[in-house]
Structure 1
């Protein structure tokens, strides 16, 4: 078996997402200390987190397009630089205004990393695209599991809180040094080879059916952009309201309601491991409709039977597994199969749709009268996700002849 010469590059890409996992929650985990540093309240410090979403949407689409033009490496490097500005800036910032600008830098860093990393991993592991992207989720989850222990450990030891910020910054310095010379696959050569393979598959289908079927940027692109929005919305609603739903609708104790989030997180991690194991046996397009159906069923049962605390814990695990365990990354991988020449561009479009969901879904939640209505709305969204991914699978079969690996 030929050794993959880009394995170290892949590992460094994963380490960037380990840092990203910390970056997403670093402010909330250090809110008390940062609030004192910025001269504001804890609530005021946590409000800065919203700036990450603004930064993310600013450059996501354009950096995806440019990633296809100039290659993956510059955008990974930009992501590292912008994240370094964020972490180092947190240590020295003295006001909420400066912190908000730093948060925008962090959001932009995430976008740069996304449009460089997801396409790069699909090019490094062409026979395991979905698995390679889903593993990113494991690094993010691992970092978010570890950081609270680091923060609490520093507090218990009476140590400076800033070490929890220095650690991810130090990792970025290491990856940044590596990527000065670290090699990436030739994205244009990979795209040309994949286009040729796709054309051969289409030709085979046309020969059998005597009817040409081509990837349609409007039809197929719309289906995927809708799924980018729907997949983000589905797990965002559950993750944001799970504890409140347990308290107000299921009448669970505070500890039991908070534990639902732990079950949800455990389900997410288990799905990453499960997908990594079966990824060599099934195509991503086979898994995505199954996962979206599982998410719909689990969320529907949460809405229908909220009174059973044991069932709620099981369903929280199931929602984490099916809706937040990497299905969004699998959807992106399938989209790249439809549009092999523009992996960076499709990443930009796909995750821009997800970012829009992050902005609009809170408005919908606030407009609905209660938690039960929010859960029912999520049931509808999850059903639309299953319908959408089923249509994507049908289109895939028309284009490539088979859903099987």
Structure 2
């Protein structure tokens, strides 16, 4: 890795620290209650529907965000992402009703698309010897933000500030990072600047059933942690009997588990193929989700938060993205788009469905989807060696 790109990598990773705030702010019980009152919905699960709009924004933008990243370069996509995120944070903080909030959330999803399709390839190009570790670093910075979320909320409460001060500060921070990205150096990569449209790229790609399974893991892996992230605190409070002032600590345990997984997996990934974790971690998630559903105590919810953070949010989506990037090295931005389209489709459809379900039903749905993810990953693992060999021959 060229040391001159280290500041650029840091800027890219810090964007995801802010993204960690953005993707979890709407899942915090105290924020959901505040926004439900501000919007006059009277139902905190309605806020989950706004979180689902993030997925809609991603679905709208991902088909062209990836090819634009390949064609115009990573810097332009980062700037578009940062600008859209500023609008999202300000929109959520000042939204007078659910309609304005919905539009802001769609823009937040668009921001996420452009950051994803620029940052995943960019960090893999900077830290090219360890692409899995490079992409897992993105999740690490997201997890740091989510780990600190209860403390950020505590600062707001302790200083008598509105909880919505947090998105305002996040918006200012990502605006500054966007300005820094204008001057940051990015690696020159063969093929960037010559990319075709998403459709043309797909026509030239040679997909197999295993490749499609990998892309679908983008859906299942996202479902596991998004359903937990957005609905577990409600389950903990309503079903397991955790006190209102304690339930946000589930976020801390969840983020601590995620960070632990990122550290441990980064060490293991040098000895164990990253594709193996696509089976192991979801299987752990299935077992833990079943225990939470059956036992229903505060203690099991806290343990479950840590384990789900470790196994579901600890880099499965990032490793799946790294694997497909290895299989399609010439269209990294485009193939990242496909995985993220699957992820976004999940975010929109599954969270929209969850907004109309009980907390118990959400856990059951999560178990079923995660089991499907395990089956897909087993299928990929059986054929991965041949897929990688074919990819190297084509390159």
TM-score tier, shorter chain, comes to 0.7 to 0.9
User: Which residue in 2 is equivalent to 1:4?
Assistant: 3
Out of 124, 127, 134, the position equivalent to 1:125 is 127
TM-score by length of 2: 0.80
The answer on whether the counterparts of 1:298 and 1:315 sit within 8 Å (CA) in structure 2 is yes
Matched, 1:297 2:276: no
In 1, the alpha carbon distance for the partners of 2:235 and 2:162 equals 36
Alignment of 1:1-400 (within 5 A): 3-26=2-25, 40=40, 46=47, 48-89=50-91, 96-159=98-161, 163-188=165-190, 216-243=206-233, 245=235, 252-254=241-243, 262-303=252-293, 305-306=294-295, 313-362=302-351, 371=360, 374-400=362-388
Structure 2 counterpart SS, 1:6: helix
In structure 2, runs of 5+ residues without a counterpart are 195-204, 391-395
Shift of 1:327: 0.9
Do 2:262 and 2:315's aligned partners in 1 also have CA atoms closer than 8 Å? yes
Change (3 A) 1:295 1:86: closer
Relative distance call for 1:369 and 1:342 in structure 2 (3 A) is same
Deviations 1:157-196 (A, max 9, x none): 245766534432332233222221211112326999xxxx
Shift of 1:258: 6.5
Maintained 8 Å contact 1:155/1:161: yes
Instruction: Give CA-to-partner distance per residue, 1:243-266, whole Å, 9 cap, x none.
Output: 4555677x5554787655543333
Pair 106,253 (structure 1): closer, same or farther in 2 beyond 3 Å: closer
Q: 2:353 & 2:31 partners in 1: Cα distance? A: 29
Cα gap change, 1:301 to 1:397, in 2 (>3 Å)? farther
Partner Cα separation in structure 1 for residue 162 and residue 242 of structure 2 = 34
Q: 1:257 to 1:177 in 2, by over 3 A?
A: closer
Distance in 1 between residues matched to 2:325 and 2:220, nearest whole Å: 18
Instruction: Name the SS of the counterpart of 1:186 in structure 2.
Output: coil
1-side partners of 2:290 and 2:17: how far apart?
33
Distance 1:310 1:21, change over 3 A: closer
CA distance 1:165–1:309, change in 2 (3 Å): closer
Deviation, 1:58, is 1.1
Offset of 1:401 from its aligned partner?
5.8
Alpha-carbon distance, 1:39 to partner: 6.8
CA contact (8 A) 1:289 1:390 kept: yes
Q: Contact (CA 8 Å) 2:215, 2:339: kept in 1 or not?
A: yes
Q: How many residues align?
A: 375
Contact 2:283 2:371 in 1 (8 A): yes
User: Separation in 2 of the partners of 1:241 and 1:158?
Assistant: 27
Deviations 1:133-179 (A, max 9, x none): 11212212222333443344244324576653443233223322222
Instruction: Decide which moves more: 234-243 or 386-395.
Output: 234-243
Displacement after TM superposition at 1:59 (Å): 0.3
